[in-house]
Amino acid sequence: TEIDWKAYMEEVEGFANGTLDYTQLKGDTGPLVYPAGFVYIFLGLYYATGRGADIRLAQYLFAGLYLLNLLLVFRIYCRTNKVVPPYVFFFMCCASYRIHSIFVLRLFNDPVAMAILFLAINLFLEDHWSWGCLLFSLAVSVKMNILLFAPGLLFLLLQRFGLLGCIPKLCICALLQVILGLPFLLVNPVGYLTRSFDLGRQFQFKWTVNWRFLPEEVFQNRAFHAALLLAHLAGLGLFALHRWHRSKESILSLLKDPAERKHPSPPLTIVFVLFSSNFLGVCCSRSLHYQFYVWYFHTLPYLLWCTPTAKLAHMPKVLLLGVIELCWNTYPSTVCSSLSLHICHGLVLLQLWYGTAPQPALQTPPPSRRPTAVSKKAR
């Protein structure tokens, strides 16, 4: 279970020894492919655990991170006021072997990035947008999967501040990336950018959880990757136009200052926009590895119960969570498990689309010109 931990320690050890050329930072599993924030955080863990030798202490630290992550997630659910059955939170805490493994056994960087993201979302809910953007960018600097939330965040910033108002928030995100990467950018800027933000990296077929039912040559085909990207962009566009944007004005009105809009947008559910943005990205991912489960595990109850739910519909949703968990615990993945995962994702998407459709406005019938008939008794 310590394979990835040792690789992380080897990658940051080069930086500890003075190597600033990002292309020279490597471990047993290959070259370093994460942004600079990962290097700084795991460098701290490197020194805290005796140059990575005290794995037991690292597991205790990640157990603390796990509890902090749950606290941040629970606070988000409390703020949304969604009626998620209490027993679902028991499954979230205790029933996922895969999530416990990702946090405490494998010591991946994915839960570090997600914990920082959930802290950023808590700040957004408190209307601290600048601090939230700062932490959002920090989470991106640990692992790029956080960028799946970025389309939703951009929509929220435009809705809240307009085009000119959201530029300073975007500058906060960009400036932090420059500051964190500056030591490496000064030495080998091309090497740093191509290694840490490599969007074209190929994944190994043997680790895929979601595309096992495809032939390997299709899985590695660039045309298949382009089709997934188009599907992702189309999904984001449809949700932005018809599920996130609730104003009577055109979506282009988001570019205006909020005070100049003719029809103010109703209050947006921040969590719905961010979680659905991320979920669309997960559904269209070129590959999902086992540690990627943490990308959306804690958001699934919200996505399933953010729509009106009849009492009899609770159990099918719990069953859906169980099937998703089973798919992620099937190792190695099979044709059946990967197909089942896509079917579950499709059902969640259908529920999000039809369950959050805007209600048609009630039209009052025009008054009749004919005089109202009056009974003889009334006369």
- Write out pLDDT tens, residues 25-84: 998 888 999 999 999 999 999 999 999 999 999 999 999 999 999 999 999 999 887 778
Kindly state the average pLDDT of the residues 299-315.
85
Mean confidence (pLDDT) of the chain: 90
pLDDT at 264: 61
Q: Is residue 322 part of a domain?
A: yes
Task: Please determine, for residue 215, whether its predicted confidence score (pLDDT) is greater than 60.
Answer: yes
- Residue 377 maps to a domain: no
Statement: residue 363 has pLDDT above 50:
no
Whether 361 is covered by a domain: the verdict is no
Question: What is the tens place of the pLDDT at every residue in 242-270?
Answer: 999 887 788 888 888 888 877 665 656 89
The angle formed by the CA atoms of residues 343, 346 and 350, to the nearest 5 degrees, is 140
Would the pLDDT of 379 be above 50? no
Query: Is 317 inside a domain boundary?
Result: yes
Distances (CA, A) of 374 to 79, 361, 366, 367, 370: 54, 32, 20, 17, 12
pLDDT digits (tens, 9 = 90+) for 345-356: 999 999 999 988
Residue 366 has pLDDT above 70, yes or no: no
| pTM more than 0.75 | yes
Residue 122 belongs to some domain of the structure: yes
The number of domains in the chain is 1
CA-based radius of gyration for the chain: 24
CA 23/CA 185 separation, integer angstroms: 12
In which domain, by residue range, is 16 found? 2-354
Q: 121 and 270 in contact (C-beta within 8 Å)?
A: yes
Asked if 14 and 26 count as a contact pair (C-beta separation under 8 A), the reply is yes
Looking up tokens 């004005």, which residue turns up?
A: 249
In terms of pLDDT, which residue wins out, 247 or 338? 338
Split at pLDDT 50, 70, 90, the class of 221 is: very high
The number of CA neighbours under 13 Å toward the Cβ of 75 is 16
- CB contact at 8 A, 302 and 83: no
Check residue 263 and give its pLDDT.
65
The whole-angstrom separation of Cα 298 and Cα 48 is: 28
Is residue 3's pLDDT more than 60? yes
Tell me if 368 is assigned to some domain. Answer: no
Instruction: Annotate 140-198 with DSSP letters as a single string.
Output: HHH-GGGGGGHHHHHHHHHHHHHHHHHHHHHHHHHHHHHHHHHHHHHH-HHHHHHHHT-
Which residue matches tokens 């416990």? 100
pLDDT digits (tens, 9 = 90+) for 118-177: 999 999 999 999 999 999 999 999 999 999 999 999 999 999 999 999 999 999 999 999
Measured CA angle at 175 (ends 172, 176), to 5 deg = 85
pLDDT at 378 over 60: no
